[in-house]
């Protein structure tokens, strides 16, 4: 009986931390599905060239997309930021056990991160959060930097590539180039 209470309390604490960070940020830690990750990688390949410079994933959640990016671009440092404690902890532990050397996970609000050296910024954030992020990207990203977004477009920006994933939601992927 005591074990049942302890497990229930632990599950409730986990739910509470995810709920609290979702309320604080406006974005829940939802993983990017495999079909959407594959579509995102295809869009980057279609854009041509290689990514030369740091890659930032803003809102890395459980870390799956960051790991794929690190594997795809081993010469580029991949910096993944998550503010929700549990998804970050899972990502950090997975990385510690079997992570690419060019990847790091940070428990940090990406709004406080300087993006002025970014070659690529990747995000899967709800529309309102994207619109709040837009001025930061416009102010900090260097000319030529790429911005890759899952599902949510930036209002007022014209994507250079779009593609529909083969998932059940027909998720849209948008690629933008700064400047």
Considering Cα of 7, then 31, then 27, then 171, what sign does the dihedral take? negative
**Residue 56's domain is classified under what CATH number?**
3.40.50.150
The residue to which tokens 């799956």 are assigned: 64
Q: Which residues of the chain form beta strands (DSSP E)? A: 55-58, 78-82, 103-107, 120-123, 146-150, 161-164, 172-177
User: Is the pLDDT at 23 greater than 70, yes or no?
Assistant: no
Total count of domains within the chain:
1
Reported as a pLDDT band with limits 50, 70 and 90, residue 48 is confident
Q: What are 85-137's pLDDT values in tens digits?
A: 889 999 999 999 998 999 999 999 999 999 999 999 999 998 788 899 999 99
d(CA 1, CA 144): 60
User: Is the pLDDT at 6 greater than 70, yes or no?
Assistant: no
The overall average pLDDT reported for the chain is 88
Q: Which domain holds residue 42?
A: 2-177
DSSP state for residue 110 in the 8-state scheme: G
Contact status, residue 53 vs residue 117, Cβ threshold 8 Å: yes
**Mean pLDDT of the 137-163 span:** 96
């Amino acid at each position: 009986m005591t074990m049942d209470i302890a497990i229930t309390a632990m599950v409730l604490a986990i739910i509470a931390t995810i709920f609290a960070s979702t309320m604080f940020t406006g974005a829940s830690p939802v993983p990017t599905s495999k079909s959407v990750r594959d579509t995102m990688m295809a869009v980057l390949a279609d854009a041509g060239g290689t990514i030369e410079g740091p890659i930032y994933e803003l809102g890395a959640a459980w870390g799956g997309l960051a790991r794929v990016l690190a594997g795809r671009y081993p010469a580029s440092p991949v910096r993944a930021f998550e503010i929700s404690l549990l998804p970050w902890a899972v990502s950090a532990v997975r990385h510690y056990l079997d992570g690419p050397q060019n990847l790091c996970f940070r428990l940090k609000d990406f709004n406080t991160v300087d993006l002025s050296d970014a070659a690529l910024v990747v995000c899967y954030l709800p529309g309102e959060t994207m619109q709040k992020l837009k001025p930061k990207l416009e102010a900090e990203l260097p000319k030529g930097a790429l911005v890759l977004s899952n599902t949510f477009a930036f209002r007022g920006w014209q994507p250079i590539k779009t593609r529909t994933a083969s998932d059940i939601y027909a998720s849209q992927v948008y690629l933008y180039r700064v400047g």
